[in-house]
Amino acid sequence: MIKPAARRRIFEIIQIGNTSDLPSRAFDIALVCAIVLNISVMLLETFERFAGCTPWFDRIEAVTILFFCVEYALRIWTSDFLYPGSSRAGAALRFLRSFDGIVDLLTILPFFWMSGFVAFRMLRVVRIFHLFRVNSYYDSFNVIKSVIYEKRNQLASSIFIILILMTASSLCMYSAEHEAQPEAFANAFSGLWWSVSTMLTVGYGDIYPITTAGQIMAIVIAFLGVGVVAIPTGIISAGFVEQYTKAQNASSALETSINTVLVDIDSMWLGKSAAEIEEQYHMVVVVVRRGNALMQPGPDYRVQIKDVLAVYKKTMETV
């Protein structure tokens, strides 16, 4: 019977981003190496010149998948430390339904089940997201996630506008060009392909208008496409400026503010997200120091042991 202290130590080791813990750091490096090896094998298998290395590729993939399986099992086994307010079964279920749990499952599933089917072979690409999950605990990628999450409503609105414009332009081009070239513009979907390739790139040249009305509409649509596609770019750029400004202010706050909290094994905040801390304790987590790295708490962040939190009390003036 493994003691709870040993289980907690395993949980600490397999947590990503704890640079101050040497075994945890070594595990992170091993995980990244396994992911890179696995993805490299997937790429090399597509080259005919490496067909003779297929047995070695299969062995490497089997070893890396075994590593992923062990990691997946350990994360389920220690999930109650990640969600301390839940039971063992409830915590395991929460992990299985989380983004990390789904990515872990889809990483190993194609190797064991129906790998001969095209759909399951395509699922192997999900292993790349496994690498994203590792990187998401570090500041650079966390900033990107925070920007997209905070600007999600504006981005959704701009994408909706782009979809409406693409649909309208595809129907217009179909109406103008169908009679002149029924093979190129056989249906509305042909016009949709043309509108996407024209608005988001410079067109591929496989479908293009030949009528005067179609060419005039193509010019207008191309100009509209440049303006519309620039909208989400501007939103994301403004979000990056805001995030880095906050990060600079938060870094100064961590160095000078007395409102810092070192999370230990008995902390009531352990396993909670920044949103849960704000809702339950009216404390705003400004920035987190994990080992030697500073990061802003994104939507997927959860407090871990030895995290140092810079917080301030949320009062009526700050609401």
Which positions ≥6 away from 118 have C-beta within 8 Å? Answer: none
Contact yes or no for 261/281 (Cβ under 8 A)? no
Mean pLDDT over 104-112 rounds to: 78
Fill in the DSSP letter of residue 53: G
For residue 128, the model assigns a pLDDT of 67
Please tell me the predicted confidence (pLDDT) of residue 163. Answer: 85
pLDDT tens, position by position, 48-101: 888 888 889 889 988 988 998 998 999 999 888 888 777 888 889 988 888 778
CA 229 – CA 214 distance, rounded (Å)? 22
Location of structure tokens 């699922």: 123
Q: What is the pLDDT of residue 296?
A: 72
pLDDT at 309: 84
pLDDT tens, position by position, 255-294: 554 577 788 767 778 878 888 888 888 888 877 887 766 7
* 208/144 Cα distance (integer angstroms): 37
pLDDT value at residue 93: 92
pTM of the model: 0.56
Q: Give the C-alpha separation, 65 to 126, whole Å.
A: 13
Q: Classify residue 114 by burial, with Cβ atoms within 10 Å: 0-12, 13-18, 19+.
A: exposed
What's the mean pLDDT in 21-50?
85
Residue 309 DSSP class? E
> Could you read off the pLDDT of 192-236 as tens digits, one per residue?
888 887 777 766 667 788 888 888 888 888 888 777 778 888 888
Chain centroid offset of residue 237 CA: 18
Q: Among residues of the chain, what percentage have pLDDT more than 90?
A: 3
Neighbours of 295 (CB within 10 A): 23
Q: Which residues contact 273 (CB under 8 A, 6 or more apart)?
A: 297, 299, 300, 301, 302, 303
199 closest CA partner among 170, 234, 239, 176: 170
- Which domains can be identified in the chain, with CATH numbers? 4-135 (1.20.120.350), 152-239 (1.10.287.70), 257-318 (3.30.70.1450)
